[in-house]
Amino acid sequence: MLARIALAAPRPAVTRRCVRALTTTPPVSSGHNKWSKIQQKKGINDQRRGELYSRAFRDIMVAARNGGSADPDKNVALFNAVKKARADGVPKANIEGALQKAAGGKDGAGQMAVYEVLAHGSVGLIVECLTDNGNRTLHQIREILNAHNARFATVRFMFQHKGRVRVALDKAEADAGGVDRLFDAALGAGAEDFDQVPDADGADAGDVEVQIICAPTELAKVTDAVTQSGLAKGLLASELVYAPAEDAAEAAEAEADEELSGRIRELVGELEENDATLRVWTTLD
């Protein structure tokens, strides 16, 4: 007897549909991306250039005020500020504009304003400004202070107003007694104290920076004495400063922790971004 073989009926064909996920992300153009990066880099460079030009302007204004003359040939500190600005690539028109304003040209030299500030209840600040609109600058400074737990207050007693001259000496000259001879020359012109600054940023490698302190009224005489002594390799700065008084500096150092120091740095940074600000001094300096 033959076995019966049951044949399975053929299965109908199944049509499979492939569904693609749709995306709304636009295609990236490599050219556009490259242009964006160029624009971003240009923006950063423009910002740095603007900061450099602003700093050069402020240095020229401060040097002219401290040295008592807007003529670089009659003001050693101003001569060096102009020289540095040129070396940094500041355009000639910017330098001449700053000199004209310092001399009280058609736009006027502006009005000096000094604000005393107490921040976070313990840190004193002195803010020096040059403005053509005192009310506007006062309002802008107050807004910055309000945002940083700071207020106008009498703090000048926390500081000493001094003249400071910074010069560079060749290290070999310094090691051979040049620092003492330089201070002797400065002493005859009214210097009060001096200090050799280790690892200073202002001096070139292989040079030694020396800071000389004097009364504000003796700044020009001391600057002339040290630059004409034949010992200084170069003048780094000649300026009026607000240095923390010894007791205020000790108190600030005892209370300042990393968090407070960071907050003061933020405050100082925002104050310095204001167009009218020339210098900011603190008891933490």
CA Rg, the chain, in Å? 32
**pLDDT score recorded for residue 9:** 52
Backbone phi, psi, residue 239, to 5°? -155, 155
**pLDDT score recorded for residue 53:** 85
With a CB cutoff of 8 Å and minimum separation 6, the contacts of 276 are 113, 129, 130, 131, 137, 140
pLDDT digits (tens, 9 = 90+) for 257-285: 889 999 999 999 999 999 889 899 999 98
pLDDT digits (tens, 9 = 90+) for 45-78: 677 788 888 888 888 888 887 777 888 888 888 8
pLDDT beyond 60 at 105? no
Dist. CA 248–CA 158, nearest whole Å: 5
